[in-house]
Structure 1
Amino acid sequence: MKKLFTFLITILFIGITVPSATAVENEIVVITETTHRNFDGLFRDDLLAQSLAPTGRLGELIYVPIKTNRIWVIDPALVDEVTAMTNKYSLVNKTPGVGSDIALSWITQLRYVTSRNQVIALAYGNPDIKLAKRLAPSELKMYFSYGNESLSKNLIRLVSTRPSFTPTKTVSRLNNSQRISYTKNRQRLTELSRVVEDAELKALRAKLAILLSPSLNRENRNYFSLQAIKAVKNEVGKLSVNEGKYRLTSAQVKVPVTVTNKYPVPVTVDLWLTPDNFKVYTPNIREITIAANSKLQLSMDVSVVAPGNTTIQAQLTDSKGNDVGESAMLSLNLTVIDSRVAWFTTGAAIILFLAAVAQSVRRIRRSKK
């Protein structure tokens, strides 16, 4: 009886301890890649197609049997690029891409092989988290939220986000001038986002995160930093005030000013008008709504105070007075005099004339003595 009891205790102990001793840890699969697509949507090269093939680096990661103990950590920007390749796409040298079928197969396999596993979305573009926190902590939150939304859409399932998870210890080598450029471009797009709700604008804002990616070598950092400047300039130019030159011949005049909106949504802004001197006065124009893909001509009320030349800086702003986009310069040539100035000038002339007469009289009197 004692031996039987000892045997049962031993079996129970083995039954409890064996599973923990043989438990299999989760396999973490990280899927990231240096971007191959410019900010304008064109692909810099077609090397990504080679990597997506079953024998390529990215292909070997997913063309594997399904396992239940995997965790997938994925850069949503990469999946966005692959998704873009599933349709007809072009390279910067104007030749068509040849990887559409490979990309479609890769996306299909990725959805299949991850279907039973947890998927973690990295911040969009896989930026250096520490650098992003230092340069733009609020924007980093956007990179995470946009990445989660994008990856969920492309995989047709819900994914999770872990801001504390970093797939690599390498850091971005972005130099100081490139960091300044990134910050300026980010700020310009953020300003624009306050008044424009547009998917392409949001996508460009998120794609700036690739500039902070540790995977970029020096050549790529230089290349994509310049590409970002061009892309942001083009984006900001979609909402603008047309510059112009005007000749004013009246003391009170309405000057036509044109505002252009190339976005597919209506935009409401204010227009701040700042003369560079006191020769004119013009009030700001509030709550201007420009219809989608259209131009709107406004009437700028100008009161001329003195003749000469002046330049008015026309700046679009949001409702709180924050600048939106680039300012425009309106050059005015003033050939009229305000009535108040005319009276003042005339009065001064009369006084000078009387003073001259008085001086002449005094001279005549002195000469007679």
Structure 2
Amino acid sequence: MTTIDVFSVNPYQVHIGPGTLDVLPSLVRDATRVAIIHPAVLSDVAHHLAPDLPQPLLIEVPAAESAKSSDVLVHCWNELATAGFTRNDLVVGIGGGATTDVAGFVAATWLRGIAFVSVPSTVLGMVDAAVGGKTGINIPAGKNLVGAFHEPRAVICDLDLLASLPEPDVRAGLGEVVKCGFIADPRILELVAQDPADAVTTTSVRFAELVRRAVQVKASVVAGDLREATSVGTKVGREALNYGHTLGHAIEKVDNFGWRHGEAICIGMVFAAELSQRALGLDPAVVAQHRELFTALGLPTTYQGDWADLRAAMSLDKKTRGNTLRFVGITEPGTVAMIDDPDEALLEECYALLAPQG
């Protein structure tokens, strides 16, 4: 088992490796009651854990993005109220990033905040959603627009939970891993390029190293900028983690969340790389590297959709300040820079390059 320390406002640890779920009972002993929020597909896991937890309450929520709604929040709050949850109690979220997002928001808002342990069961959840203290839900206007910062007591990344994860979901999760390579740890890019098939094998040593490296990147970034303060000049904080997300989130919204998050942000990263070449002087070879790595992993690099709809959706991006649209870019792998208020014609030019060829 690998343990990564997140030295944030409220420090905690991320436990990574096969069988790490075994540490959960020791993390919740001080709680009077424990609620396990989970999707139906993980009911067996939740029921298996329950006997070792104090006064367990199992709350089933819809799968994937359907869980991130106000109706689901109210349902969870009512369950906690019926069970008499107090500030001495704790919430465990087991599932993909959507489940841990909503479970964390339930914990953040119940009695203005109770303890929370995140147990991601997908690659995306492990390397992205579970670490960093962001919790929240979607509304019709956009993704993750309502939420709170609420750091977990701990994160448990049990790689055994990935055994039944469909391969397309593994590949999509690796999109976030590759993002960490482009913004902070170029060794990730080398590991993927050396053997893409091994990178997708969840039992391989290479895969475990990729997860560890991605979690370490996120832990290091959020430790220095928990609440995503606006980046100043060349100093880019937590916003760096949003590389590819401005267009990626817009694609998710416009297509009614029909895309896997990791797939959408791969397209967003190709767009951001093209923009970085023109606005920041990024080497065209690195732009090509984006397409090469994502293609090798079976991830998309092209997209066709109405630009006006996407542009409107991007105006609600969290990095936007007033009427100024801002993008995360890179000057080289491992070095991030913000692109403020790019010319509209330049944005359209970069978007046109995403169209399928032939």
TM-score (norm 1): 0.33
Larger radius of gyration: 1
Structure in which a larger fraction of residues adopt helix: 2
Query: Which structure is richer in relative contact order (CA contacts within 8 A, separation 6 or more)?
Result: 2
The TM-score with structure 2 as length reference comes to 0.34
